[in-house]
A and B are shown apart, each in its own frame.
Chain A
């Protein structure tokens, strides 16, 4: 399955990145370092995707490859920090969970975690975390939090949607179709008797139960 393949590609890119940090980018090192069951054929497949170049038994990233590897490493190490700092796991436990976690989070959430953790520079093992765009743009390190839309006061502030938490399929589909997708910026105009929310140029009335399923980043705007 292709989802599985993405998984393998990510693992290989991750291995190449860490080998590069150690300065040993031979094919053998890279294969050994990878967390998945992989061999030469997978490595060549990744080369065919235009992500790496294999030359004289050593591996180099292409420009596309670096970007993707950087993103996956960033997710992995931020996940580790989250486990250790916030959830209080040991770094060994965190390592294993982070491997799962890194595949599951979308870019919006990655940046959110980064902001939440105050833009950490290193992972619990002391390795550097590649900075995201928010970190580069010099956003002041702050703590930020997710809140359901039903608990957000009304103001002219733009709030970014983090995710939709709902098991109700029809509700999810309808919200997405109306434009409430993760990453979109919305405003809360009114709270009684129901919420009035602006998405792009449309206003919607939502009841509290529906609004409770829309989680937004709350607080980051103060520090922009």
Chain B
């Protein structure tokens, strides 16, 4: 335990660490939290984020909790004495060892927030109330949103809300987050949260210690009972909080006392406490839950069954993927791109602008070039993201939001569990990989949900090496639309093959144990168009805000290189690799330069260069594959180093670059040898 970790003379170090941490925290805390803040807490998939979006509207900010990688969202409330609302990630339980649960405990224990909005799934009242029992130890006022009451009613469950509110001593509001039902009432009640009337009834052998610890900590600026709960439960990171707020000798003595008791316990305290809380929750459920006889089987439930059985599920999965491909690849990448880039920008806006630019005297040719030249800020810097990337991304984000909101993705995980095990992951690993088709950076962040280090490394490797993110995927589709279906299948086939080859090899090479697969399957529901659209709009907004500056910077760099003649130098310098090794035209150096700035910018440039007939089919395919695999974008790089560490991160990067070049060269050789043409 902890006592063993601290040698003599460690105290000084600890003091310094404590001070540093405090300063870092204080900065973020002043911004994002305070007694006027309500924290949203709830299990996974209970509709927290949907509620959050309804409550705060479009003005949301994402930030990470200091010294962790946990992403929180913050928004503002318009009424009441509570002004800020913070959405925390969903948890499995309050006393597990995940980083998400730690952040929530940390915020509550240090009283960084003023109140809690607990979101419960009305279908799973017992599990939710068990969370409430744990929360009671944190002594903060609370409001309960009993969400998804429509789905619980369909299952013949009726909750006596008044009774529940009385038993808990806090306001309870029934809501249907996806439809915005019950929201005005919830908003009203959020002005008056109340402390919970229940307590966690510790098992006999822990109750003495818990009250002892709480009494010792009375008077310090943290929640004494919350601290006792965590220390008794055996949550080691609670000592960080203890160190920050409590005198060193007191903290030292307490941890020693707990350690001594710990040796005599037969049952692990967290297990015993979880059991007790479950039992307490069950007792409340008995008093408030009425079950009615008639349970309607919804049509969606029947489809839900079909989607998880292999015999029907696998065809459904294939149909779904084809539908997404048609929607994004045809509607987005062909029709909308034609309309936006081809017609609106290409035939109307840019010729119009060109007319004005041509008025600039010949002596200022550089200025004309800057705006509408080969690397003009408008013709490339603006036209690429808006004309090519935006339409594809809009359709992709929409398709992804629909899949997400429908609850379909976990069912795919289930079907693919066995296949994923071959590449060292399991069904859960599907989520980060599919996320990678949206944004690799986000996906690398979500690898945290995987339980073993081996899996996280494999998932990161596969993501960085093979996953084309949505913007890149979109542009790839634009390029491939010109080359035809055969080329499309070949390119994605080659990339997919690498997932299998590299995944299996990594699984074989890396040590590590196999991981449990436990995944909740939410009921299948018909997504609400409004929610999916607003999700899409939100993501597009963030993409544009973040990406356009990169596009402009990239274009500007290329423009300057071109003006000073440096571009030719680079083209010549990279000739051995690009022209000899990969068989690409020398202008492809521009692509890779652009790719360093942002991947889809490189691909978009490829789409443009292709129009002038610089590439044949094989060259375009090689360029696409190498571009996809060789270079993660700047954000992905940062996140990868942060998540995996410098050593693993560098190893992955070097591997990825070499592997991509070799694969590109091999592709060129083989395709030329067998004479493939597109």
Contacts and interface: CB of A to CB of B under 8 A. Distances in A.
Interface residues of B, number: 45
Nearest to A210: B516
A175 interface: yes
Given A2-B205, A207-B417, A175 B518 contact: yes
Interface stretch (A68-76, A124-132, A166-174): A166-174
Given A172-B271, A173-B270, A204 B519 contact: yes
Contacts of A196: 308, 414, 521
B157 A201 contact: yes
A205 B521 contact: yes
A38 to B, nearest CB: 19
Interface in B490-533: 514, 516-521, 523
B264 interface: yes
Q: Which of A170, A174, A207 has the most CB of B within 10 A?
A: A207
B449 to A, nearest CB: 13
B278 A204 contact: no
Interface string B408-440: 001001110110000000110000000000000
A170 B155 CA distance: 32
Interface in A122-156: none
A203 interface: yes
B310 A192 contact: yes
Contacts of A200: 123-124, 126-127
A206 B414 CA distance: 9
Interface string A196-214: 1000111111110110000
A190 B208 CA distance: 45
A217 B82 CA distance: 50
Q: Which of B96, B205, B310, B517 has the most CB of A within 10 A?
A: B517
A209 B520 CA distance: 17
A181 interface: yes
A6 B451 CA distance: 39
Contacts of B608: none
B271 A173 contact: yes
A1 interface: yes
A207 B426 CA distance: 10
A179 interface: yes
Contact of A206 (B97, B123, B413, B518): B518
Contacts of A105: none
A203 B124 contact: no
Contacts of B127: 177-179, 200, 202
A36 interface: no
Contacts of B523: 203
Nearest to A1: B205
Contact of B96 (A173, A179, A194): A173
A204 B270 contact: no
Given A2-B208, A177-B274, A204 B516 contact: no
Nearest to A176: B274
A177 B93 contact: yes
Contacts of B310: 192-193
A155 to B, nearest CB: 14
A174 B518 contact: yes
Interface in B61-100: 92-93, 95-97
B268 interface: yes
Contact-size category for A: 20 to 34
A194 B519 CA distance: 11
Nearest to A198: B521
Contacts of A22: none
A1 B261 CA distance: 10
Nearest to B516: A210
Q: Which of A171, A172, A177 has the most CB of B within 10 A?
A: A177
A3 interface: yes
A205 B271 CA distance: 22
B21 interface: no
B93 A173 contact: yes
Nearest to B134: A177
B415 A171 contact: no
B124 A201 contact: yes
A205 B92 CA distance: 15
Contacts of B95: 173
A30 B176 CA distance: 61
B278 A178 contact: no
Contacts of B249: none
A98 to B, nearest CB: 20
Contacts of B270: 173
Contact of B518 (A1, A2, A178, A193): A178
B520 A203 contact: yes
Nearest to B97: A170
Contacts of B92: 174, 177-178
A55 to B, nearest CB: 29
A124 B266 CA distance: 31
B123 A202 contact: yes
B204 A6 contact: yes
Nearest to B152: A201
B521 A203 contact: yes
A210 B264 CA distance: 29
A211 to B, nearest CB: 10
B308 A201 contact: no
B275 interface: yes
B309 interface: yes
A171 B97 CA distance: 12
B414 A193 contact: yes
Given A175-B518, A207-B516, A194 B124 contact: no
A115 to B, nearest CB: 22
Interface in A93-135: none
Contacts of A179: 124, 126-127, 278
B218 to A, nearest CB: 23
Contact of B413 (A189, A203, A205, A209): A205
Contacts of B93: 173-174, 177
Contacts of A171: 516
B308 A210 contact: no
Contacts of B204: 2-3, 6
Contacts of A177: 92-93, 96, 127, 130, 274
B155 A201 contact: yes
B481 to A, nearest CB: 35
A210 to B, nearest CB: 5
Contacts of B96: 170, 173-174, 177
A159 B427 CA distance: 26
Contacts of B414: 193-194, 196, 205
A6 B203 CA distance: 12
B123 A210 contact: no
Contacts of B271: 169, 172-173, 176
Contacts of A181: 275, 278
Interface in A72-102: none
A190 B93 CA distance: 26
A65 B92 CA distance: 39
Contacts of B157: 201
Contacts of B126: 179, 200
Given A173-B271, A173-B274, A177-B96, 6 more contacts: A173-B93, A179-B127, A204-B521, A205-B519, A206-B517, A207-B417
16 contacts: A6-B204, A170-B97, A174-B92, A174-B96, A174-B516, A178-B127, A194-B414, A201-B123, A201-B152, A201-B157, A204-B520, A205-B414, A205-B427, A205-B519, A209-B514, A209-B516
Interface of A: 1-3, 6, 168-179, 181, 189-190, 192-194, 196, 200-207, 209-210
Interface of B: 92-93, 95-97, 123-124, 126-127, 130, 152, 155, 157, 204-205, 208, 264, 266, 268, 270-271, 274-275, 278, 305, 308-310, 410, 413-415, 417-418, 426-427, 451, 514, 516-521, 523
Q: Sorted from nearest, which 5 A-B pairs have the closest CB atoms?
A: A177-B93, A201-B123, A207-B517, A2-B204, A203-B521
